[in-house]
Amino acid sequence: MPAAVGELRFDQPPLDELLSTLRRAAHTADEVGGPLPEVLDVLRTCGVLGLVVPARYGGLGQDAVALNRVVTDVARVDASTAIILFQHFAVSARITDWGTEEQKRTLLPRAASGEWLLASGWSETGAGADKRRIATTAQRQPDGGWILDGAKSFTTGAGIADLYLILAQSGADEPGTSTYGAAGQSFFLVEADNPGLVPDHGPDLIGMRASATGFVQLRSCRLGAEALLGPEGEATRIIGTVRESGATLGAVSVGIAEAAYDLLLEHVTQRGLTNQQAVRHRIVNLATQIEAARAIVERSGRGDAADPGMTTLYSKLFASTTSETVVAEVHRMLGSAGFVRTHPVNRLAHDARAVALMGPTNDVCRELVSAQCLTSLTTPGLT
């Protein structure tokens, strides 16, 4: 049944049950430092996981505008669940865009129905945020299969996912050929029940504590030829198209900023502060910043800018820095109420920070944007 979300209409999955479960569970999940089973149950059964899977594979076939909006709505209640969801959407979109017909037919219906939760393992300790020095290797076997060895860090959904998109070095690197990723890297789809894949708890994170962000080890992990996603050695090309899709972690940041704003409105109303002009004006400034972040995330999802990939990078940079600024201002305005450890604004501050550290990290985003800006600056006729 089509449902209205903002001014746009799309087949929205029934989020109400998920959001109400998260409202009850988010604080406890943050305290225990992991997703609660009841949240994962609802996540898998409520229908949201099929959002961007094409209808012919059992999904809702929605676009990046819908994706960003759902991620924002979930992040407004719990940013940890929003990043689990974002990774699931991102991997299902990669399979849709780059999978063989066989991979799509086998994997996507499971991703859409919630039988399978999908995760991405690209990052490694010491590999660098730009993923140019990864140590995980993929060795081609005589039968056409692969053996993967290595260790991934900061994998969101580690231990709860059923399928992992693993980045590995499968061939020779050619230094200096890329700003993000390296030549000779490939993507592999690894099922959680593969005995060579060993997930582990990650470090005790200060933010996104309920996102199951942890380690994944690959120990002589044997895969069939069908595990390769996309052309061998061309992961950087696939990564480039991720940006073109318009799905942005900025959507998570908008939800976090909205949550902080909600806390502030509740606070000033309860304390009778709305009759003070200075308070009202500060609130308007925050609302203006959030609206601008929402707008650029929406534009990123529409993909109608001259260079959609750049808009996705701008949206992540702008929304994530805006949400950090908004949460800090809300923190100040809450006064001593916000200085209590268990006050939700403290969770929002850490979650807002985390988005800047997620791939591409904000500094890497700036590098990618600067490469493009400097190219146009040196183009004859523009000086």
Q: Given the rule CB under 6 A, which residues bind ligand FAD?
A: 87, 120-123, 128-130, 154-156, 208, 211, 213, 354, 357-359, 361, 363-364, 367
Is 104 or 209 the residue whose CB approaches ligand FAD more closely? 209
Q: CA 302 → CA 63, 298, 311, 368, distances in Å? A: 8, 6, 10, 21
Q: Give the residue closest to ligand FAD by C-beta.
A: 359
Nearer to ligand FAD, 74 or 208 (CB): 208
CB of 168 to ligand FAD, least distance (A): 12
Residue closer to ligand FAD, measured from CB, 12 or 321:
321
Nearer to ligand FAD, 209 or 299 (CB): 209
Tally of CB atoms within 10 A around 178? 19
The number of helices, as runs of H, and strands, as runs of E, in the chain is: 11, 10
Beta-carbon count within 10 A of 74 CB: 26
Q: Please report how close the Cβ of residue 281 comes to ligand FAD at its closest, in angstroms.
A: 34
Rounded least distance, CB 367 to ligand FAD, Å? 4
Q: Do the beta carbons of residue 209 and residue 33 sit within 8 Å? A: yes
Q: Closest distance between ligand FAD and the C-beta of residue 155, in Å?
A: 5
DSSP, collapsed to helix, strand or coil, labels residue 76 as coil
As measured in angstroms, the least distance from the Cβ of 129 to ligand FAD is: 4
Q: With contact defined as beta carbons under 8 Å apart, do 190 and 164 qualify? A: yes
8 A C-beta contact, residue 51 and residue 103: no
Dist CA 248 CA 243 (whole Å): 8
Q: Which is nearer to ligand FAD, 10 or 180 (CB)?
A: 180
Shortest distance, position 70 Cβ to ligand FAD, whole Å: 18
Nearer to ligand FAD, 266 or 363 (CB): 363
Q: Is 380 helix (H, G, I), strand (E, B) or coil?
A: coil
Structure tokens at 4: 């209205």
- The secondary structure of residue 141, as a DSSP letter, is P
